[in-house]
Amino acid sequence: MENILSIKNLSVSLSGKRGIVPILHNISLEVEQGHILGIVGESGSGKSMTAFAINQLLPGGRKSIVDGSISFCGEDLTEKTEKEMTKFRGKEIAMIFQEPMTCLNPVFTIGRQMKDVIMTHQKKSSKEAEKQAEEMLEKVHIRNPNRVLSCYPYELSGGMRQRVMIAIALSCSPKLLIADEPTTALDVTIQAQIIFLIKEACKATGTGVIFISHDLGVVSQLCDTIAVMYSGQIVEVGRAADVLAHPQHPYTKALLASVPSFTPREDGNDTLSAIPGMVPDPLEVITGCRFAPRCSYAMDICHKKVPPLQIFADGYSLHCHLQKEVEN
């Protein structure tokens, strides 16, 4: 499969009142056509900042200090001007967020907003755009698309608004869809429907997806590959089944151990574990592993040296001083 996105050694620092704040450290990621990459981690781990960096929408705009490359279909987005980026955003790279109301304009109907997006990126008449808007709503399984086109956002439920956002995002057949916690505000049954829609759309059109979530349960249902982020770094990447069944990094293990389970554990211990401490302040100078103060496996070397990147077969990699356990 062809790579749509290839991020290499991306580091980002934001310039603000607190000075230069490093927020992403040496990130490398790839997304193939028709594949879904999940990015997981606690709040403050840098998941959303990675998405903003891809879209060149970092807080502080051009004042941000960016090192490394973000190659999208062979073009380095870090070298694009603001005007050039407008050709990518919405058309080639679409985004959906946790709260659709922050993206939908409350004073225009859904139909008007969908038509605007379609006509901005495609040479279509108003009538053609309306027809396409209706078809897109049908594709996301909205039963009465004509009625929904005439509604204002406040007249729809949260789940319906998120379906509309997916329809808008997919209306220009993007090569890459970035979904930033799109199911977090929804109840479980609606979450499942939205996950199904994203999966269906991705597999049908070959759109690559980056699905950002703190919920490992959601990610396990949807993603082909998982990247685990901690404090602005990627600590473990691999096929979803491998990372979830045989996590190697102590942070991934701790994240998985903190997921509530309906079935009793083999060791009989049903206490829900939590990761002690907090994600460090980005300005905190840490000489070794950034997870060391919270890691139950930490050794002397972890506090002194940055862990090496260990690369294995099938795109699996690990940032840790511990060696990968050999699976039977």
- Candidates 140-148, 156-164, 203-211, 318-326: pick the segment binding ligand SF4 (CB under 6 A): 318-326
309/320 Cα distance (integer angstroms): 7
d(CA 241, CA 243): 6
| 90 touching ligand SF4, by CB under 6 A | no
* Whole-number Å distance between alpha carbons of 308 and 47: 21
Q: Does 101 bind ligand SF4 (CB under 6 A)?
A: no
Q: Which amino acid is at 311?
A: I
Using CB under 6 A, pick the residue from 101, 172, 190, 322 that binds ligand SF4: 322
Applying CB under 6 A, what is the total number of residues that bind ligand SF4?
A: 14
Stretch that binds ligand SF4, among 30-38, 101-109, 175-183, 315-323 (CB under 6 A): 315-323
Nearer of residues 44 and 307 to ligand SF4, judged by Cβ: 307
| Per-residue contact flags (x/-) with ligand SF4 for residues 233 to 262, judged by CB under 6 A | ----------------xx------------
Instruction: Centre a 10 Å sphere on the Cβ of residue 210 and count the other Cβ atoms it contains.
Output: 25
Q: Where are the beta strands (DSSP E) in the chain?
A: 3-16, 19-32, 36-40, 65-72, 75-76, 93-96, 176-180, 208-213, 225-230, 233-239, 309-311, 317-319
Report the run of H or E that residue 242 belongs to, with start and end: helix 240-245
Closer CB to ligand SF4, 163 or 319, in the complex: 319
297 binds ligand SF4 (CB under 6 A): yes
Q: Is 295 in the site for ligand SF4 (CB under 6 A)?
A: yes
289 is an interface residue for ligand SF4 by CB under 6 A: yes
- Looking up tokens 């840490």 gives 286
> Is the separation of the CB atoms in 14 and 64 below 8 Å?
yes
Asked if 292 interacts with ligand SF4 (CB under 6 A), we say: yes
Residues that bind ligand SF4 (CB under 6 A): 249-250, 289, 291-292, 295, 297-299, 302, 307, 320-322
